[in-house]
A = this chain, B = another copy of it.
Amino acid sequence: MPVISSRGENMTQSPIRSLIPYAREAKNEGVHVYHLNIGQPDIETPASALSSLKKYDNKIVGYGSSEGTDELRETVKNYYCDNVSKIGIEDIYVTTGASEAIMFTLFSCFDAGAEILIPEPFYANYIGFSHVSGVTLVPVKGSIEDGFGLPDTLDIESKVTPNTKAIFLCNPSNPTGNLYSQQELNSIAELVKKHDLFLIVDEVYREFCYDSEFYSVLNIKGLEDHVLVIDSISKVFSSCGSRIGFVVTRNEELRESILKYAQLRLCPPMIGQYMAEACFTDRSAYLHVVREEYNRRRLYLFERLSKMEGVKCYKPKAAFYIMTELPVADTDHFCKWLLSDFRLDGCTIMMAPGQGFYLTPEIGSKQVRIAFVLGVEPLGKAMDILESALVAYNKVYSGSTLASPNG
């Protein structure tokens, strides 16, 4: 039997994966599981997008341009010019989700061995992308005390080596729900210029800011060739399954390189692109409603978590996540136990254990990421479960050596 690759064998997996068998088991037992573990919104996709499918009248679902369709790029350009930053259609390539946008970016910007500075915690799948592309993520530790604001620029700069090629941000942040201010981004810009780095920012949660305005790094003067933005319709328009993302950069040389990777996979999904165009049609009205809804959940979730004994939390400023610290020694164990052992009225909850969002060992083991992708009512039930579970769990495990749930 032929041997598979070492890189495949060593490939990291999502930290949530190990919980899936436990969730499946619980469901098989008839337990209702509230999913707070994934970024799959329960919000409906815009009606304009869904109804556009009924009007699709091409007779051949043929290849399109590797850059993305002109129609969608034009639509996205207009959206950017109105809401984000003045860009041209040539600055945008459509990708198969933000995932592909990240892959193209890593391959086009960096050779294997390049180091990329990134505030920690960060979106767990970045680890997998760095593995595939052979780059090294160098984490700069954030602090729950200030809601995971930007780490001190001196801390960031202290990690710069001759191999450092970029700073990578997720703004607004998955998993923390933090939003970087214009001032913070300007201080990053100074570092970027000083060390001639790329500044890569994943802005897929841009439209969900609750207390203050979003500021895009695309607006920073003098960084035109340094900045690359990752974007997607997945979260904004609750269209994760369409697999439509974007890379946006004014760096022409970089675009030429990205285009070669884009040509290799021929084109992004054509029906997804067609639908994506329609997403933008009534975007203001749609996004207003969606933002209000997420905000309600955010305030409710923060209020509930704040009142739980021993729970450390902050009010997230954006996106639909919060990283919160629980009064348990190991949230991986706790999350498994919730699925395998704990039920309240026949229900339990699934959360994402914190450690998967960290590269630095030991930290994050008391944290969980909660996604508020459920309405206030089910969120309320989920919080009831969490509250009771913490009490029950600590009766059994507090101070004791942890045993694996289910034996």
Contacts and interface: CB of A to CB of B under 8 A. Distances in A.
Interface of A: 1-2, 4-9, 11-14, 17, 38, 40-45, 49-50, 53-54, 56, 58-64, 96-97, 99-100, 103, 107-112, 114, 125, 128-129, 132, 165-166, 196-198, 225-226, 238-243, 251, 253-254, 257-258, 260-261, 263-272, 275
20 contacts: A1-B196, A1-B251, A2-B197, A2-B225, A4-B108, A4-B109, A4-B254, A7-B112, A45-B58, A45-B60, A50-B58, A50-B59, A53-B53, A62-B240, A103-B265, A132-B264, A241-B271, A242-B270, A243-B266, A269-B269
Report the copy number of this chain in the oligomer.
Answer: 2
A159 to B, nearest CB: 17
A11 B41 contact: no
A111 B132 CA distance: 11
B261 A242 contact: no
Contacts of A97: 265-266
A132 to B, nearest CB: 7
Given A128-B264, A260-B13, A240 B61 contact: yes
A62 B241 contact: yes
A241 B226 contact: no
Given A60-B238, A61-B240, A5 B110 contact: yes
A125 B266 CA distance: 9
B107 A261 contact: no
B8 A257 contact: yes
Residue of A103, A111, A114 with most partner-chain B CB within 10 A: A111
